[in-house]
């Protein structure tokens, strides 16, 4: 475990700029993660299956783009965000509402260790053996948002703590994004409120990427830098930046690439034959 105070050169400068600067950070894992480009993904502890799946997929794609995923280690969306990030190329940061020596929730004991083992970190402003208390979590949320260049609220009820994180993020000048859902689902009402109040509506990972380009430089080298890929033409390599590790509709690829439909189809065939993508239900995905 490492202990950082606000004067330490390893202390993240973004935290020095906020109201109520954490005087001390207790960190297990790789401290350098705290200064990398980061995006937070937060949401309800009782998400729908589609929200869980989407969270993992988006976290993996962003991680493969070199973005560190930040969340709060809670059950539900938080856990899915960390799990998805661990499937990607970058790391993940868990900000706790208890001490770093406390396994909370207990269901995430193995996840916590995986975050540390894979080069990420677990961080708290509370002494290492501090138990979780309700009052700790709102304070924890300001650290989640401050470490991040943008915050995605995946699914949240009207009284969700995720809305607190989003509110703080907006006050800190961070990009706030919210995912819409069914008007009949109580766990989407918080996101709808955020959108009404000015959060950016995002309904695809490409919209997230386009939104974040204004805040942080996103590269896709982790997706297209292998030796086999470098032998492709420039246009084929560019097209791969619009294809994800989950099913990407051809119409989306055409729309975001700006290429003609027949050009995209021709290049997809080349990429499929060369083993870079595969055709799946609903479109194509990266291999």
Q: Which domain holds residue 180?
A: 2-212
Under the banding of pLDDT at 50, 70 and 90, the label for residue 228 is: low
pLDDT in tens, 95-132: 999 999 999 999 999 999 999 999 999 999 999 999 99
Q: How confident is the model at residue 212 (pLDDT cuts 50, 70, 90)?
A: confident
What pLDDT score does 152 carry?
A: 98
CB 68 within 8 A of CB 38: yes
Q: Is the per-residue pLDDT at 59 higher than 90?
A: yes
Query: Is residue 42 located within the same domain as residue 148?
Result: yes
Domain count, the chain: 2
Distance CA 144, CA 169 (A): 9
Is 227 or 192 the better-scoring residue by pLDDT?
Answer: 192
Measured in degrees and rounded to the nearest 5, phi and psi for residue 286 equal: -70, 145
Domain of residue 94, CATH code: 3.40.50.450
Report whether pLDDT(219) > 70: no
Determine the average pLDDT of the residues in 185-199.
Answer: 96
Q: Does residue 260 share a domain with residue 131?
A: no
Q: Last residue of a domain, which of 182, 212, 242?
A: 212
Residues 203 and 233 grouped into a single domain: no
Total-model pTM: 0.78
Whether residues 49 and 17 share a domain: the answer is yes
User: Closest Cα to residue 193, out of 208, 210, 212, 179?
Assistant: 179
18 and 74 housed in the same domain: yes
pLDDT per position as a tens digit, 171-182: 999 999 999 999
pLDDT value at position 241?
Answer: 85
**Strand, coil or helix: 169:** helix
């Amino acid at each position: 475990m490492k202990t950082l105070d606000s004067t330490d050169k390893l202390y993240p400068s973004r935290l020095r700029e906020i109201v109520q600067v954490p005087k001390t950070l207790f960190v297990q894992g790789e401290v350098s993660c705290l200064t990398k480009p980061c995006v937070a993904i937060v949401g309800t502890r009782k998400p729908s299956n589609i929200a869980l799946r989407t969270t993992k997929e988006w976290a993996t794609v962003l991680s493969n783009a070199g973005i560190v995923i930040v969340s709060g280690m809670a059950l539900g969306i938080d856990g899915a965000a960390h799990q998805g990030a661990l499937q990607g190329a970058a790391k993940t940061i868990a900000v706790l509402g208890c001490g770093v020596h406390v396994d909370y929730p207990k269901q995430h004991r193995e996840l916590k260790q995986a975050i540390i083992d894979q080069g990420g970190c677990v961080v708290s402003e509370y002494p290492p053996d501090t138990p979780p208390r309700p009052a700790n979590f709102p304070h924890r949320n300001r650290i989640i948002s401050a470490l991040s260049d943008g915050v995605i609220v995946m699914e949240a009820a009207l009284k969700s703590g995720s809305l607190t994180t989003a509110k703080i993020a907006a006050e800190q000048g961070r990009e706030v994004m919210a995912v819409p859902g069914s008007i009949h689902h109580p766990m989407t009402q918080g996101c709808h409120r955020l959108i009404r109040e000015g959060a950016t509506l995002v309904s695809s990972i490409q919209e997230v990427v386009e939104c974040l380009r204004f805040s942080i430089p996103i590269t896709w080298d982790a997706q297209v830098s292998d030796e086999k890929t470098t032998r492709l033409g420039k246009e084929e390599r560019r097209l791969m930046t619009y294809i994800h590790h989950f099913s990407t509709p051809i119409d989306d690829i055409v729309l975001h690439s700006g290429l003609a439909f027949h050009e995209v189809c021709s290049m997809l065939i080349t990429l499929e034959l060369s083993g870079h993508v595969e055709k799946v239900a609903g479109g194509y995905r990266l291999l």
